[in-house]
Structure 1
Amino acid sequence: MPVLLLLVCLGSTLFMTGLIWLVQLVHYPLLSEVSPGAFGRYHAEHVRRIGPIVAPAMLAELISAGGLVVAPPSGTPNWLALAGLIVAIMTWVVTAMVQVPLHHRLASGFDPVACRSLVRSNWIRTVLWSVHAGIVLAMASLAMN
């Protein structure tokens, strides 16, 4: 069971890490290039389409990170699993407290301040997912030795 948890956490975390870097460097900066007349529809489609992609991966990451605290793989320290869970929880908190409200602001139309805030604040999630990827990769390396 611990190895399965590790594989699920590794896969979902690496998926989200790659996705967040794409969103951070490509997708969010391009929001300001959408014409104001098309922005509302574009943003609504972004939200509709991205949800089914990120929700299962984020949920799998969080649940498996919690499971690794309870049942860490052999050879991995519990503190490393706990650090991973804390970082995963932090991504959920930042998403709920910062990114979601900014997307709600953008749902009513283009707002250059909200767009800039979305890009700047998303660096927090980009760093958090990158850190979690490093933690889970370290756990996998330790578990394989």
Structure 2
Amino acid sequence: MYELKTKENDESVLAFIETVEKPKKREDAYRLLDIFTETTGHEAKMWGSSIIGFGSYHYKYASGHEGDAPLVGFSPRKAKISLYFSPGETRREELLKKFGKHTTGKACVYINNVEDINEEVLKELIRASINHLQSLYSNE
């Protein structure tokens, strides 16, 4: 059976942020930590070795695959900062038009630094993603 690699753990979020090599990226990680904590009302937790997640939900697909994941999160990666939102959230594309400089993947939004984005739109993206996931998985 498939074993999830990215699980919530008790590693220190602050200790992880302190390992970020570039001072500017480390500063951005602390700013994102504040924004996500304030917006979600959830304590930051490490998921795997490099994702800082907020809240969690349990999913189960028709295939039978199931697991737990953070509602939202971010990771200060070497190249860019990855922001994790629900990929199926309907307002995402509309909000991203006002977000600032970024690129996207299926579930990730990538930014170079926090000063390139609109923090209020980030908060809207966080709230929209959480609302979407909670409506999908609230009766799990």
TM-score, with structure 2 as normaliser: 0.34
Determine which structure has the larger helix proportion and give its number. Answer: 1
- Higher normalized contact order (CA 8 Å, seq sep 6+, divided by chain length): 1
Select the structure that is richer in strand: 2
Give the greater-gyration-radius structure (CA).
1
Q: When the two structures are superposed, what TM-score results if normalisation uses the length of structure 1? A: 0.34
